[in-house]
Each structure stands twice: as C-alpha cells, then as structure tokens.
Structure 1
Amino acid sequence: MSAGAIIGGGCTFLDAHSLRSLLPPSSLIPHFLSSLPSHSAAVNSPFRQSFAIDPSNSSSLLLMPSWSSSPSLPYIGIKIVTSFPHNTSLGLPGISASYVLFSSSTGASLAAIDGTELTLLRTSAVSALAARFLARDDARVLIMVGAGALAPYLIRAHRNVRPGIERVIIWNRSVSKARDLVKRLQEEEKEGGNVVFEHVEILDNVIGIGDVVSCATSSQDPIVKGGKLKPGAHLDLVGSFSPAMRECDDEALVRGRVFVDFEPALAEAGELVGAFERGTISREDVIGTLVDLAGGMKVGRRSPEEITVFKSVGTAVVDLLAGQLAYETHIRGSH
C-alpha cells in the first residue's frame, strides 16, 4: 500500500517515508512553538498504560491515549506500542508503534500513522525547540551521545535551530555503530556542506568542547560527567524514561539550570528522581517546562557562560500535535 493511501472508511495511511516529508524539523519545530502554549492545557493525556505480554522475556504492550477539548484541535489520538527487548538478539527492532488519529467531533478514524517514525520526529523536535531557548546562539560543536535510531534525528533537528553547528562528534559504546552513523551522515550531507562528522572512542576526551551535548541512550549509569561540561554548554537528555535509567551525574544538574519537557519528567526521569532522593537538588530547582519556554513564561539562557539542562521523557501531547500537523498537511497536499 502506498503512502497516503485511503483505507476503508476514508482513513488515511501515512508511512515512515511520507511522515519524513510531512514533518521535517523546519515545519514541526515551529508548529510545536506556536501550538504548545495554546493547546497543551486543552489536551487530556492519561498516564501511559502498560500490560505484560510475556513476563519471561519482558515483552509488553503500552497504550498512550490523548484527546483535545479545543475546537481548533478536534482530535483524539492513541499510540499503541509493543516492547520486545529480546528482539535485539534476533536482529529485529525492540520497539514498534502505531498511531491512530480520530475526529473528536464524530469519532471517525482519520489516519493510521507509523508510530515509530512519529516518535522519532516529535522527540527530536522537542529537544531542538528547547535548544532554541537554551543553547548558545553561536553553538558550533554538537556531541551526540548514542548512535541508535534517534541519533540522526536529533542531529538534524539541533542543526535546524543552530545552523552554525560545524562539527558533530558521535560517541557510542559500540564504536562500530558510531563509525557507521558518521559514514551515513557524511553520505547524506549535501555537496558543499560545511559540517564535519566524526566519532570518538572516549567520551570524556571531547565532552568539554561540546556547545550542545545530546544524549539518547538506555544507560542506567551516568555517562556525562557534569564537571567536564564547559561554561555555556547545553545538555539535552533524551534517553531515560524510568527511575532506573540515568545519562548524567548529579553534578551536571547542580551546575545547570534545569528544564523538563512536561511535569511527568519529575517522576519518570532517573536523573531527576535520583537527585531528588539524594537531596542533591529539589523539585523547586527545576525552572520550568517546554510550555513555559515556548510561551515566554520562563526565561531560557540568561548568559553566554550559563550551563543549561533539558530533560524530556515524552508525552502524548506532542504525539497528538505531530499527528495533527501530519494529517492536515497531507490533506492540504492531496486537494
């Protein structure tokens, strides 16, 4: 079935390829900037439901519903995610997802969307939107910690808001994965591109030159040492989504002004939960949310020397807004 095909009942199918053209960073980031302050309060997002499928291999089914009470965002959305961690040993993706968009006025199915691609696009756009307020305007060096599926999306999104980035350094526990990603990005770069892509084996050797340090790993132990961050650095933490996971140490949080994507991060992000429990920082030390930054309620970077930290865990609100933009852009283009 081709991208944009109509399923029975008038439901549109949007695959990964079509989503990449419908939701480039140049469209999705401004959409979040304008719509998050006006719509986030009107979106209902119950806590994610998780069901154990097979406890012996930790496979599970997750449901993430949301719906809007705003007439200008007339949608219901649900992301259905399967987590099969043992798939990695079979060479298969451990996470698969589908997203379904409905009309909130009639309940009709509007679109079936590749949920995995939607998540990659919206997650990277959220990080980049935060960096728009928190990273230095003259950022030149981006350090990407992790070389998984999300890494190239984060690199593209950060470059969209900080086009002055001229050097991208990638670290991964598996050196070959970092090397492969560098090669891919070099091939994708347009002729005449002025960005140097490289990989390193020892993260500590380069962390101190990063203007933006973006982390997307599943680490349970701190990778980024706060003491090595340079004045003016922006630390973007994407990987952890449970209290057991942690990508930076407490010193990074103490040295930086900390922001989160949404309130659930205070209870789900391992870096924050652990620091609260240890008394290193308190909830009051978290300055604000992405909505606060986008809406102008909180000031982002205040000086060139300040260290900033942004921690995201993801939420159904941005899924719904990304689904809205993909669907409406597709419908406009098909008429």
Structure 2
Amino acid sequence: MTLHPYPTSLDAGQTAARLPYPLLVTELIRLLKDESVKVPQRVVQPLPGGGSLFVMPALDARTAIAKLITLTPANAGSGLPAIQGDVVVFDVATGRRRLMLDGPTVTARRTAAVSLLAAQRLAPNTRGPMLIVGAGVQGVAHLEAFAQGLGVRDFRITSRSHASAQALAQHAQSLGLNGRVVPDADAALADCPLAATCTPAGGVVLSALPRDDGFISAVGAYTPAMVELSAALCQYVAAQGSVLVDTPDAVHEAGDLLQAGLDVARFASLGEVIRQDMKKPDGPVLFKSCGWAGWDLAAARTALA
C-alpha cells in the first residue's frame, strides 16, 4: 500500500492551503449528492464556566471523520481563540489515520463556503456591496469567500468592536477590495443586497427588512437560545420571500427562526436545493446556517484530494 507523502498533522496555515474556496464549494455539492454520507447527531457537552465540547462524527464509503472542538466564549478579548480543536480523518477500509486538520480553520472555511454556495444558488443579486456583521474569524472567512467565489469587491463592516471592524476593513483593502466600517448595520442593509451575520449570537444585531433582491446568511445562532436576527425580519422574509436552512437539523437548532415562531420544518434545505436543482426564488432570501459535521467531512475530502 502506498502511503501519502504529505504530513499527517496540518497546522492552521497548511489546513487553509488545502481548502481553497472554489474546490471546497465543489466538494460540498458532491457530498450533498453522495448517498453514502452518514452524519450521526452531534454531541454538545456544556463545560464548567460556560464553554462547550463538541463531538461531531461523519462518514462516507471511503472516509470517516471526528471533529473534536471546544467553544469558549469567555476567551473573547483575551488573546485566546474561542474555538480550539481538531478534525481527525480516517480511511474507512484500513482504519488508518490519514490527516489531522486544524479545527478552527476547518470550521471557518467550511462555514463560509456553505454560505457562498447558498448565495451562488439562491441570491437574487450577487454583485454587492456586502454587509458583514461581526468582524471575527467568521467575518474574515466570509469576506474572503465571497470575494473569491462571487467576485464581490465592496464590503461594509460593522462590529461591536470598532477595532475589529477596522482591522477587517484594512484586511479587505490589503486584498485589493473596498472595505469600510459602517456604524449602523440596519442602515447599511438598504445599500447591500448581500449580508452575513457572523456574531456570537448573544442578541439581535440586524432588524431592518432586507431589499427585495436581498440575501442574508445568518451563521451565528446554532441553538434555540441564540439569536442574531429580529423576529420581524425573519417573519417578513418567510412571508415575502424565501427562508432556507443548511440541513434538516435546523428544525431544532435555528434560534433565529424558532424565536420568530416559524415552522422550520417547512423550509427547504441546501441539500434539496442542490439535488433538485432548484431555481433562484423570487424576493428576499434568508439562509439559516447552523452547522453540520457533513460540512467538515466535505472539508476533509477536499484536503485529501
């Protein structure tokens, strides 16, 4: 048996290099069409002090993964990352460990790639500008993904931390993009057909109603108790446009939609969009992303390739 020459354990930079957004989006599509994929329910174990331990397995006919990460919101502002851990990748046939990927990097890039895929398939207007609410790791990943995958050049950035927002704007400028800090997310939404909310989801950060050609990817809230979007915003898009979710698991995870009193089970998932080759809907679109180990499996498959 020929062993692969690349290192088994990849750091953050090596992991990112193996997950370019165009290839990652392509692999997401392949995974959603792969009938061998199985994703057991993830375990979220609360930890003393307010953190959580996530155990997220997934597999297909050839590859099995286990994502083991901690989420520690108390690390905000301390210099320590909020998300830490690894994605361990195994060969199904031999049981051999093939790779160990940096967990935070996988989480950031696969989440942004899922938003990008949803926008490519569903957004009425993909030209931008794009509003990014939250200038942390996910804000950076979404800016880079939408610039690379949709050619968006103009970004408006808002964050509870002005320093973080300014740093992300400067990062955009370093990439040859137009990035500027705006003081009010609701006011900026009127000028932005694309938006992503990438916050810790401790409270509503976006209340304004989207444009008729608006697309919002809400990624911060992944439990019933978490929220980023106002109930009125969610209810408006459900009535006047289209709400879609990343997976059917959102029925018990999508805090934004659940707190708005919406029947999450009636909304189509991204898998249905891909498998049924759905056309772009009319009116504004809200894409609710809660996370799924299948996305991590797609990242592992991309890294192996």
How far apart are the structure 2 equivalents of 1:138 and 1:106? 44
Q: TM-score, normalised by structure 1?
A: 0.83
Change (3 A) 1:136 1:162: farther
Q: Secondary structure of 2:260's match?
A: helix
Contact 2:124–2:281 (CA under 8 A) maintained in structure 1: no
Query: Displacement, 1:138?
Result: 4.8
Q: TM-score, normalised by structure 2?
A: 0.91
Identity of aligned residues (%): 27
Q: Does 1:44 align with 2:38?
A: yes
Query: Displacement, 1:285?
Result: 4.3
Amino acid paired to 2:223: S
Give the corresponding residue for 2:255.
270
Give the corresponding residue for 2:57.
65
Give the corresponding residue for 2:221.
240
CA distances 1:8-32 after superposition (whole Å, capped 9, x unpaired): xxxx122221222221112111221
Query: Displacement, 1:309?
Result: 0.6
How far apart are the structure 2 equivalents of 1:218 and 1:87? 12
Amino acid paired to 2:292: T
Give the corresponding residue for 2:263.
282
Contact 2:189–2:208 (CA under 8 A) maintained in structure 1: no
How far apart are the structure 2 equivalents of 1:37 and 1:84? 30
Task: Give the number of aligned pairs.
Answer: 297
Amino acid paired to 2:64: I
Q: Over alpha carbons, which structure has the higher Rg?
A: 1
Contact 2:89–2:98 (CA under 8 A) maintained in structure 1: yes
Change (3 A) 1:284 1:325: closer
How far apart are the structure 2 equivalents of 1:183 and 1:310? 27
Q: Secondary structure of 1:14's match?
A: coil
Q: Does 1:166 align with 2:166?
A: no
How far apart are the structure 2 equivalents of 1:51 and 1:269? 18
Query: Displacement, 1:273?
Result: 1.6
Q: 1:111 aligns with which of 82, 86, 99?
A: 99
How far apart are the structure 2 equivalents of 1:297 and 1:81? 34
Most deviating of 166-175 and 81-90:
81-90
Give the corresponding residue for 2:244.
259
Q: Does 1:120 align with 2:108?
A: yes
Amino acid paired to 1:175: H
Change (3 A) 1:285 1:249: farther
Q: Does 1:295 align with 2:275?
A: yes
How far apart are the structure 2 equivalents of 1:166 and 1:23? 21
Query: Displacement, 1:137?
Result: 4.4
Contact 2:198–2:219 (CA under 8 A) maintained in structure 1: yes
How far apart are the structure 1 equivalents of 2:195 and 2:90? 37
Gaps of 5+ in 1: 7-11, 190-194, 329-335
Change (3 A) 1:245 1:264: same
How far apart are the structure 1 equivalents of 2:25 and 2:141? 13
Amino acid paired to 2:202: Q
How far apart are the structure 1 equivalents of 2:126 and 2:168? 25
Contact 2:158–2:181 (CA under 8 A) maintained in structure 1: yes
Change (3 A) 1:37 1:87: closer
Q: Does 1:13 align with 2:5?
A: no
Q: Secondary structure of 1:98's match?
A: strand
Amino acid paired to 1:293: V
Change (3 A) 1:273 1:29: same
Give the corresponding residue for 1:311.
288
Query: Displacement, 1:197?
Result: 0.9
